[in-house]
């Protein structure tokens, strides 16, 4: 095999109370990478579609390129890789756009090289790419993007990444407002010190959420899905956030918060039907803002990246 096409999914990082520690993968949207093995050494971005020419074409500045360069160096690989990137998800959306590109490129390249590494072994290269994109090597997008499902980053040093059990019928609604928030900016506005009493509430909620997911205790998931530290600050960047969240909860979502660093907003529900109903309510609430939006509805993606058949095109908003 000399060439391969891989899809890697969007991810919801933080999941309310797990800042930089918890994330999960969804089925759509996501990015597509076509990678081709070459006798010419080095990593090249041969083209990018869907980015309105905004992403760097130099491999050492592009997350897909940075990740694959680190992988090739680690493997001491003499051959090269040509990467064609199809951005099928919005930039600056809070849905792990940079992570989807690096994960797709890593998975594709590893496959072309005969699969020398396990997925979790590629994580440090994807984290390096995150750091190049926004200055922080957080793993709560790249880890679920690579491994699928819900993933807890219990420790960054040493890296300790845990796949968390979750109920089969758990579904996610995403409202992506048509505005852009750069992760770097959304991190810069955060308070660097937090009150001990707030920290206690936050880590208790995270523990409750992990327990609730493992036991399929939806009441517990619902009670725990709160972010009292970051959401109050970051939600100021999202027009109509309180209305969107209120509409999601009123229509029966288990909970609702900011996806990653925003501006997308996610809600969890107990079925696809409920998640669609929640999506309609969120869209309706956001329409008052006179801004466009997309809604994605998805079960949890337990797989992460996958090889596409030649004519498969997996990405379209629900409504």
Q: Which residues are catalytic?
A: 130, 183
Rounded least distance, CB 262 to ligand HSE, Å: 8
Note whether 187 binds ligand HSE by CB under 6 A: yes
Residue from 208, 260, 279, 305 touching ligand HSE (CB under 6 A): that is 260
Q: Which stretch binds ligand HSE (CB under 6 A): 11-19, 154-162, 195-203, 296-304?
A: 11-19
Provide the 3-class DSSP secondary structure of residue 8. strand
Rounded least distance, CB 229 to ligand HSE, Å: 11
288-307: contacts with ligand HSE (CB under 6 A): none
Phi, psi values for residue 292, rounded to 5°: -75, 160
Provide the 3-class DSSP secondary structure of residue 99. helix
Q: Which is nearer to ligand HSE, 20 or 318 (CB)?
A: 20
Residue from 261, 269, 270, 293 touching ligand HSE (CB under 6 A): that is 261
Whether a cis peptide bond, with omega within 30° of 0, leads into 8 is: no
Q: Beta partners for 164?
A: 150
CA torsion sign, 254 to 259 to 260 to 261?
negative
Note whether 251 binds ligand HSE by CB under 6 A: no
Q: Which is nearer to ligand HSE, 12 or 315 (CB)?
A: 12
Note whether 14 binds ligand HSE by CB under 6 A: yes
**x/- track of binding to ligand HSE for residues 35-74 (CB under 6 A):** ----------------------------------------
Residue from 183, 264, 270, 301 touching ligand HSE (CB under 6 A): that is 183
Q: Which stretch binds ligand HSE (CB under 6 A): 14-22, 66-74, 164-172, 205-213?
A: 14-22
In the chain, beta strands by DSSP E: 3-13, 22-38, 42-49, 80-86, 150-156, 159-164, 171-177, 255-258, 265-269, 293-299, 306-307
Cβ contacts of residue 13 below 8 Å, gap of 6+? 20, 22, 23, 94, 96, 138, 140, 141, 144, 259, 260, 261
Residue nearest to ligand HSE (CB): 260
85-124: contacts with ligand HSE (CB under 6 A): 94, 96
Q: Is 55 left (phi over 0), alpha (psi -120 to 50) or beta?
A: beta
**Per the structure block, which two tokens stand in for 85?**
């990137």
Burial of 205 (0-12, 13-18, 19+ CB in 10 A): buried
Count the alpha carbons within 13 Å of 249 in the hemisphere toward its beta carbon: 13
Size of the site for ligand HSE (CB under 6 A): 13
Note whether 145 binds ligand HSE by CB under 6 A: no
Sites of contact with ligand HSE (CB under 6 A): 13-14, 19-20, 94, 96, 138, 140-141, 183, 187, 260-261
């Amino acid at each position: 095999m000399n060439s391969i096409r891989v899809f890697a999914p969007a991810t919801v990082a933080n999941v309310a109370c797990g800042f930089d520690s918890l994330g999960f993968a969804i089925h759509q949207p996501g990015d597509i990478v076509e990678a081709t093995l070459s006798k010419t050494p080095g990593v090249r971005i041969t083209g990018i579609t869907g980015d309105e020419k905004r992403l760097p074409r130099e491999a050492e500045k592009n997350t897909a390129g940075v990740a694959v360069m680190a992988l090739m160096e680690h493997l001491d690989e003499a051959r090269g890789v040509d990467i064609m990137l199809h951005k099928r998800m919005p930039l600056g959306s809070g849905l792990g756009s940079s992570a989807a590109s690096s994960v797709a490129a890593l998975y594709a390249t590893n496959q072309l090289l005969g699969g020398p590494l396990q997925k979790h072994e590629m994580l440090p290269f994807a984290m390096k790419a995150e750091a190049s994109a926004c200055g922080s090597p957080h793993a709560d997008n790249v880890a679920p993007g690579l491994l699928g499902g819900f993933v807890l980053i219990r420790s960054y040093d040493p890296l300790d990444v845990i796949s968390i059990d979750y109920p089969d019928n758990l579904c996610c609604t995403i409202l992506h407002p048509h505005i852009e928030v750069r992760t770097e900016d959304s991190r810069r506005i955060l308070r660097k010190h937090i009150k001990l009493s707030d920290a206690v509430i936050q880590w208790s909620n995270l523990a409750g959420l992990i327990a609730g997911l493992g036991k399929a205790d939806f009441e517990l998931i619902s009670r725990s899905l709160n972010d009292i530290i970051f959401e109050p600050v970051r939600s100021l960047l999202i027009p109509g956030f309180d209305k969107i969240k209120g509409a999601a909860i009123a229509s029966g979502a288990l909970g609702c918060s900011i996806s990653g660093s925003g501006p997308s907003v996610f809600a969890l529900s107990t079925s696809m039907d409920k998640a669609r109903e929640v999506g309609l309510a969120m869209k309706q609430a956001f329409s008052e803002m006179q801004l466009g939006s997309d809604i994605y509805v998805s079960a949890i993606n337990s797989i992460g990246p996958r090889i596409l058949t030649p004519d498969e095109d997996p990405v379209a908003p629900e409504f």
